[in-house]
Chains A and B, each alone.
Chain A
Amino acid sequence: MQLAKEVKYLIHKEVLLEWRSKYTINGVLLYVVSTIFTCYLSFVILSEKERLIWNALFWIIMLFASINGVSKSFLQESRGQQLYSYLLASPGAVLISKTIYNTMLMLVLTTVALGFYMLVFNDYTPPDLLLYYVAVVLGSISFSTVFTMVSAIASKAGNGGMLMAILSFPIIIPVLILLIKLAKNAVDGLPWENSYDEIAMLLVVNVLTVATSLLLFPYLWRD
């Protein structure tokens, strides 16, 4: 129960810090909105036939937005801050709290992004919006579990942004393939039975990622 208490306290700290500066959330929101707007300006209109482009574009925007948003979690912390939380909390609690906080951040972000995306490209909404939203939620969770651990690795390697991209892309591609397949099922309006495989695989991959992260993070955290 010590762990649960620590996790709760650390999440509170993260939210409070974010609430004071509102730097990450506003920055990434502005990033998403301006990217969507740029896409809108260059495509102007996506007709019913181009719904595959509609889907692909959304996931590309989400991928880069989440790399920018989640990588902040460890990269922006100074060495002193990391030492301070190392002394106060167990490594497991730090990782779990960061992952949960990033998931919450990504959920807010992707929901707003999806809303704005459908508002701008208003000719088209996927026929099965609920399934599409399930894909978006699963995407937020997977992006935050994978990127949290990779950003921890990149921050310890001390070479920020570029390393983050190199290390995370090969790991996120399998997840992204599953997500795009699931989202495409929603775009095509297939019945839910066709998507259970992908949903189950995504959950398994997430459990696997969180389990390996929890096992490995203590070694990474101790300098």
Chain B
Amino acid sequence: MNKTWWKILGSVLVIYTAIAGLLLGVPRLPILNESIRNLYFHVPMWFAMIVLFSISVFYSIKSLSSKSEVDDIKAVESVNAGIIFGLLGLVTGAIWAKYTWGQFWSFDPKQNFAAISVLLYFAYLILRNAIDEEQKRAKISAIYNIFAFPMMVVLLFVLPRLKDSLHPGNGGNPGFNSYDLDSRMRMVFYPACLGWILIGYWVYTIRFRLRSLENKQQMN
């Protein structure tokens, strides 16, 4: 029970947000209307992605000093899990944009920057495939991961503030600001973020255990 309580908590929270997010009342805002419910399914993906990529950078830094294979596997598997959430974030955003803006992809700065930051991590995975020797691969990919992380932070958090975007919350568009987000929405939004972060972490631990077992098998 000690080790499984957070997995149960994560699943319960995600099931709760799936039901409550579709059924509970939401404020009526112009443009957004009912599509505001996407907040519960779109934004938590980015939270989970950021958490997983931060875990990856943490283990990359650790693997540079410890040189242990376990840290390297942890770094790459959290990137693998994070990319899934990044892609889900792009897809949920694109579907929402189809109904609100009329197009899946309308060259909004936020869409573009999110896509580029996912590309950054695909480049990381390709770099790993390019090197055969394990220790060298661990070292060089860890260096690239740490080098790329500040750029991702600039892409996702700094640049969108300099550009005009149609994304809710930018440039006078009604959005998920503090005064728009009323207490009914908070009841679902915060549990959704926590739940998806826990699920993301769970996916990462499963992937890590699977990879370690595969490695052990190859050794024998």
- Residue positions of A touching B, CB distance < 8 A: 149-150, 153, 156-159, 163, 166-167, 169-171, 173-174, 177-178, 181, 197-198, 201, 205, 208-209, 212-213, 216, 219-220
B147 touches A216 (CB 8 A): yes
Specify which chain A residues have a CB less than 8 angstroms from the CB of B146 in the assembled complex. 212, 216
Specify which chain A residues have a CB less than 8 angstroms from the CB of B9 in the assembled complex. none
| B62 interfacial by beta-carbon distance below 8 Å | no
Chain B residue, CB-CB nearest to A172: B151
Specify which chain A residues have a CB less than 8 angstroms from the CB of B24 in the assembled complex. none
A170 touches B148 (CB 8 A): yes
B147 touches A170 (CB 8 A): no
CB distance from A219 to the nearest CB of B (A): 5
CB distance from A86 to the nearest CB of B (A): 15
Specify which chain B residues have a CB less than 8 angstroms from the CB of A209 in the assembled complex. 150
Other-chain contact of B64, A153, A166, A219 (Cβ < 8 Å): A219
B120 touches A171 (CB 8 A): yes
Interface of chain B, main secondary structure:
helix
Specify which chain A residues have a CB less than 8 angstroms from the CB of B130 in the assembled complex. 157, 159, 163
CB distance from A51 to the nearest CB of B (A): 20
Specify which chain A residues have a CB less than 8 angstroms from the CB of B148 in the assembled complex. 170-171
CB distance from A208 to the nearest CB of B (A): 5
**Cα distance A179–B127 when bound, in Å?**
27
Other-chain contact of B127, A167, A169, A201 (Cβ < 8 Å): A167
**Cα distance A163–B120 when bound, in Å?**
13
Chain B residue, CB-CB nearest to A167: B123
Find residues 152-173 in chain B having any chain A CB closer than 8 Å to their own CB: 154-155, 158-159, 162
CB distance from A205 to the nearest CB of B (A): 6
* Known interface pairs A173-B155, A197-B162, A209-B150; 15 further A-B residue pairs with C-beta atoms within 8 A, sorted by A's residue number: A149-B147, A150-B147, A156-B136, A166-B126, A169-B123, A170-B116, A170-B151, A174-B154, A174-B159, A177-B159, A178-B159, A208-B154, A212-B147, A212-B150, A213-B147
